[in-house]
């Protein structure tokens, strides 16, 4: 039997999933992030601990491995792959001070023009004393892959998008040369491409086959998309977590910086989407999870609530309405809490529908099916309300674990 290993380095911990040739899960293991002195040593420890936790009989038949990291978590390494400084995490905004300089170089509204982009972080790191020792700039997934295959300077076009890599022409753009980056930018491969065999030391230590392949990885959110089961144009995944995130597979690339819309390449298709500030965090302001569950049962999902809210925690929205001054709208509030919840769920469903309409208006394929992930996915009343608004089938994701998506990537799905 051949097995495939996906490893997810997410925001709350690291996980590994082994699947068989039929994409059935054989084992899942996890490693929570603890208080640590050094990020890189904790990543390394997590990777090796996860490998060690996989039962030996599975390890002996792992054919390929793929790793996803958090998008725009980056680090500098020396010629031997040793980090020369602390990595910058996905949400680190120190790059804001170099944005003016990047605006002069990058095309208007480019995805690199954000304080947390990989390129802003790299430009910020260029001022550090440690930069003199650096030879390679890598993303978290690239470096973890290196620990397994031993090759430095390799990335994938999902991680490299926010570094400025041109995913349409499959090359770094000319404008990037104007930054005169004196170290090696990663060579960029399609996610899932075989980079090489696992290093002999790793193969011996963990009893992996010597010809076990390590593949180019991806980012956590794309791995979670892959896990959902969506694969044809018009299929989408809505994440109903603290915020509302939409992703729609399309044959056309859709970009609109005003709304924060951009597309990742997914083979011959494009994964386009946007993120709204509405979502479960607003529900949590008013209700406990138990109340959400109980009150939802009192709601008649076949009837539309007349309450027209725009549920936000604070002023400002980007997608599907671009208005930094948009105020939260949560009135009138009925005395009956189930009625109030109905209004909130209905309003978030309307915003979701409006989001998919905007993506289609900008050129994405017509929506035909929506998978759902996140805490709100387990609410059948909400699913029914959303289906009535979206007018397409709304189903649960096959799986919501990024590690499962990375395992599929390793399998070549
Ligand atoms: P994140 O990882 O973005 O913080 P999760 O995917 O864990 O979020 O989802 C948490 C959200 O799910 C919370 O904001 C909560 O309001 C929402 N949630 C939890 N249970 C329910 C429910 N039964 N119905 C609707 N929303 C729910």
From the number of C-beta atoms within 10 Å of its C-beta (0-12, 13-18, 19+), residue 27 rates as middle
* Residue 283 in contact with ligand 1 by CB distance below 6 A: yes
Nearest one of 271, 174, 280 to 221, comparing CA atoms: 271
165 plus 36 within the same structural domain: yes
Alpha helix positions (H), 68-199: 99-105, 118-125, 140-149, 174-177
Q: What is the pLDDT of residue 37?
A: 73
Integer-rounded Cα Rg, in Å, for the chain is: 22
Q: What is the pLDDT of residue 341?
A: 98
67 plus 191 within the same structural domain: yes
Nearest one of 129, 43, 123, 128 to 81, comparing CA atoms: 43
239 plus 216 within the same structural domain: no
241 plus 96 within the same structural domain: no
Q: What is the pLDDT of residue 377?
A: 93
* Residue 298 in contact with ligand 1 by CB distance below 6 A: no
* Residue 313 in contact with ligand 1 by CB distance below 6 A: no
E strand intervals along 230-321: 235-240, 244-250, 262-266, 269-276
210 plus 268 within the same structural domain: no
Query: How many structural domains comprise the chain?
Result: 2
217 plus 282 within the same structural domain: no
38 plus 182 within the same structural domain: yes
324 plus 379 within the same structural domain: yes
158 plus 58 within the same structural domain: yes
For the chain (length 413 residues), average pLDDT per consecutive 10? 96 94 98 84 96 98 98 97 97 95 93 94 97 98 98 98 96 94 96 98 98 97 94 96 95 92 95 96 97 98 98 96 97 98 98 98 98 94 98 93 97 91
From the number of C-beta atoms within 10 Å of its C-beta (0-12, 13-18, 19+), residue 318 rates as middle
Cα 184 to the center of its chain, rounded Å: 25
198 plus 302 within the same structural domain: no
Find the CATH number of the domain harbouring 243.
3.30.420.40
Q: List 395's β-bridge partners, or say none.
A: 371
Q: Coil, helix or strand for 185? A: coil
Q: From the CA of 321, how far away is ligand 1's center (Å)?
A: 22
State how far the Cα of 77 lies from the Cα of 79, in Å rounded to an integer: 7
Contact (CB, 8 A) for 87 and 75? yes
State how far the Cα of 214 lies from the Cα of 95, in Å rounded to an integer: 31
* Residue 291 in contact with ligand 1 by CB distance below 6 A: no
Q: Which domain holds residue 164?
A: 3-221+404-411
Per-residue HEC secondary structure of 18-70 comes to EECCCCCEEEEEEEECCCCCCHHHHHHHHHHHHHHHCCHHHHCCEEEEEEEEC
174 plus 259 within the same structural domain: no
From the number of C-beta atoms within 10 Å of its C-beta (0-12, 13-18, 19+), residue 385 rates as buried
Instruction: Tell the residue nearest (CA) to atom 26 of ligand 1.
Output: 376
C-alpha pair distances (Å), 245 with each of 87, 220, 269, 375, 395: 27, 14, 19, 12, 16
E strand intervals along 177-226: 187-189, 194-197, 213-215, 218-219
Contacts of 331 (CB under 8 A, 6+ apart): 309
- Mutational test site, ligand 1, from 280, 290, 338, 380, max ligand atoms within 8 Å of CB: 280
73 plus 209 within the same structural domain: yes
Contact (CB, 8 A) for 2 and 63? yes
């Amino acid at each position: 039997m051949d097995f495939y290993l996906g490893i997810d380095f997410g925001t709350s911990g690291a996980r590994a999933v082994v699947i068989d040739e039929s994409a059935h899960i054989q084992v899942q293991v996890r490693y929570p992030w603890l208080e640590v002195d050094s990020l890189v040593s904790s990543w390394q420890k997590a990777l090796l601990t996860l490998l060690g936790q996989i039962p030996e009989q599975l390890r002996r038949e792992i054919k390929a491995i793929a790793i996803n990291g958090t998008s725009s978590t980056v680090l500098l390494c020396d010629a031997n792959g040793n980090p020369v400084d602390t990595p910058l995490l996905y949400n680190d905004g120190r790059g804001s001070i170099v944005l003016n300089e990047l605006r002069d170089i990058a095309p208007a509204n480019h995805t690199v023009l954000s304080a947390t982009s990989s390129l802003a972080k790299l430009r910020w790191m260029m001022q550090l004393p440690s930069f003199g020792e650096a030879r390679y700039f890598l993303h978290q997934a690239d470096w973890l892959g290196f620990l397994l295959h031993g090759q430095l300077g390799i990335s994938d076009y999902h991680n490299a998008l926010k570094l400025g890599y041109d995913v349409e022409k499959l090359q770094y753009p000319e404008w990037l040369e104007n930054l005169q980056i004196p170290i090696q930018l990663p060579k960029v491969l399609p996610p899932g491409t075989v980079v090489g065999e696992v290093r002999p030391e790793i193969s011996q230590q963990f009893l992996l086959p010597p010809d076990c392949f390590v593949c180019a990885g991806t980012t956590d959110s794309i791995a979670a998309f892959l896990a959902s089961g969506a694969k044809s144009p018009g299929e989408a995944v809505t994440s109903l977590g603290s915020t509302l995130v939409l992703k729609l597979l399309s044959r056309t690339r859709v970009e609109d910086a005003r709304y924060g819309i951009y597309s990742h390449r997914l083979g011959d298709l494009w994964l386009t989407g946007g993120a709204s500030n509405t979502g479960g965090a607003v529900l949590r302001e008013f209700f406990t999870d138990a109340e959400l569950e109980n009150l939802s049962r009192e709601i008649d999902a076949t009837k539309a609530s007349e309450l027209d809210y725009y549920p936000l925690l604070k002023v400002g929205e980007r997608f599907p309405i671009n208005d930094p001054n948009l105020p939260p709208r949560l009135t009138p509030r009925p005395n009956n809490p189930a009625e109030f919840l109905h209004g909130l769920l209905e309003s978030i469903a309307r915003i979701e529908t409006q989001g998919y309409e905007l993506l289609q208006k900008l050129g994405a394929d017509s929506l035909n099916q929506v998978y759902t992930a996140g805490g709100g996915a387990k609410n059948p009343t909400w699913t029914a309300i959303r289906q009535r608004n979206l007018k397409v089938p709304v189903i649960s994701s096959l799986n919501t674990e990024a590690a499962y998506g990375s395992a599929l990537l390793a399998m070549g799905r």
